[in-house]
Chains A and B, each alone.
Chain A
């Protein structure tokens, strides 16, 4: 019988080696609801990559929202069939590290050319991609917050339609002119800074301008109760409660663009990723500007990075790095930016003819890029979802008037400290 089992063993070995000699298949988790133009773009990239790199197959898995994709990727990882490459939120970095699910890029980048490539991205984007001296993510689809304003409304309020408020005081002054009241009702608000879903992100647009960071690079500490943070929140709350140029209570992220189109608000803060949408649907001329400054200027970055999952064979990881590099060439980054509205992730992408032409035709597209030099990392810590929830709850409580900004931020800080104590 022994000869039989060894024969079977040999057969299996032979089969396995032929399988290895055949294509390397990379599973690629990408966060998008399937269908629509983005899927087609990604499919197109994958096909082009396969053509240029015979022997590597890309199996794109479209898993839904970022949240869904993270869940799917982690579950798949735990069940022993991990993705090879995935685009996930840059803020998921600590979560992925804590789950021991991803590997750093550094060991795979040995040549000088490789090392130069890792340095070719905007530093603001790398903040959320590196920790502990290692690079865990490569920027792919990244965004920042910008300010959109309705030029007609500016004109009607006697403001220069081509000049956005440039600092906090101007925002209040403009807002007061833009807010239209009849009796107790307001038919047009000055400004809307949305506060559902991920209010912490928009809040960072205020804290950064106030010259304060919300966490350390190691993701083990938060600074929610610093005086400058409380001051930033006070300003946000005052827009509603003192200046009365913003609706009170929380403002729904999903309906803010519609509010803008419906002229319910003359100014809105939202992601650069909304540019295409606003361009298509705003029934009036609009402008795009950087967020107003206070003690400085700034916005958090947002969006997704490439991650490499553990448990890959050497062959696969070589193919994976090839794929990530191919996806982030200047030409591809430019093309991707034009097609989606995300910020092209490396400076040299903006020198490509395609993107130059695009910016010439549509200057608003460059605002996000110009803002990048003031951009900081999006809030990201260990046990990220919990910590951000603590902050979100505090922000919503303050905006609703149930807590003072000071109380809200002290409570949030206390909660965050409690959550993070085991990561010190």
Chain B
């Protein structure tokens, strides 16, 4: 018994050390970004305590590219996608959860197909579609392929199915139409799902790169990630201080949002029961 206790204590200590080490490793890139951003670029590879502090990198980075415009583009993009996703997925999930329509099973399988075959791998054909539609280099063109989301439909369908049908029927008896029932009954009950899904969607599209890179041409449409890449890839070589400053600036909103709401974030995942 004693030996047993000892091994379990040792293993617990190992686990603790491992966890700390891992956490340290994981935070390192961000820590480095902070270091490089607030020191002159001569110190971006030298970690001495007496390195002078400066905010000049932020100023330079901010002036070197129209980040304000990029911010706005990303903000519009993310808002547009999320709004569309929430509406469209809710409607579709409701159909799958509560309507026994003809072809439902097949339709559901076809929807789930998008879980695997995401728009990200269909760049060549989707680019052609956007060209044909004449909307290359517009913010809607970045968002359109993502607006109907199999993941969202799937999640919400699972949740809607857990709503007892007695509640549904009771509401109907009172004369509510399907859309009213959806709004008054299903949507409020699925709130944690909406939050969890929303957070995933926001961070996904805030950080999405390849498709926006391909489909955008100009400052007025380019999201932050693409702007950042163009900014970082110069013929003249890499200046990590500037890149670090730009990185921190561009991810600051998401980062602070997460810092502030991390508890709620995890809890909404838990309540969402995505597992």
Contact = CB atoms under 8 A, between A and B. Distances in A.
Q: Are chains A and B touching in the complex at the 8 Å CB cutoff?
A: yes
B42 A283 contact: yes
Question: Most B CB atoms within 10 A — which of A35, A271, A274?
Answer: A35
B238 interface: yes
B231 interface: yes
A402 B239 CA distance: 32
Cβ-closest 7 pairs across A and B: A257-B237, A33-B230, A35-B65, A277-B236, A254-B238, A72-B217, A64-B230
Interface string B225-237: 0010011011111
B236 A274 contact: yes
Given A63-B218, A254-B238, A281-B41, A33 B231 contact: yes
A41 interface: no
Contact of B45 (A33, A79, A262, A271): A262
A36 interface: yes
A414 B207 CA distance: 41
B31 interface: no
B224 interface: no
Interface string B116-150: 00000000000000010010110000000000000
Contacts, number: 68
13 contacts: A33-B65, A33-B230, A35-B65, A35-B231, A36-B65, A62-B219, A79-B131, A256-B237, A258-B45, A258-B237, A273-B236, A274-B237, A281-B41
Interface in B233-255: 233-240
B64 interface: yes
Interface of A: 33-36, 61-65, 68, 72, 75-76, 78-79, 253-258, 261-262, 270-271, 273-274, 276-277, 281, 283
Interface residues of B, number: 25
A336 to B, nearest CB: 16
A262 to B, nearest CB: 6
B273 interface: no
A61 B218 contact: yes
B235 A274 contact: yes
B149 to A, nearest CB: 27
B131 A65 contact: no
A257 B41 CA distance: 13
A63 B217 contact: yes
B251 to A, nearest CB: 19
B64 A35 contact: yes
Contacts of B6: none
Contact of B136 (A75, A258, A262, A274): A75
Interface in B21-77: 41-42, 45, 63-66
Question: Most A CB atoms within 10 A — which of B42, B131, B227, B234?
Answer: B234
B53 to A, nearest CB: 19
Contacts of A253: 237
Contacts of A72: 137, 217
Contacts of B233: 65, 254
A124 B236 CA distance: 23
Nearest to B240: A258
A61 B239 CA distance: 26
A61 B134 CA distance: 18
B211 to A, nearest CB: 14
A75 B230 contact: no
Given A270-B237, A273-B236, A276-B236, 10 more contacts: A33-B227, A34-B65, A36-B65, A61-B218, A68-B230, A253-B237, A254-B233, A254-B237, A256-B237, A283-B42
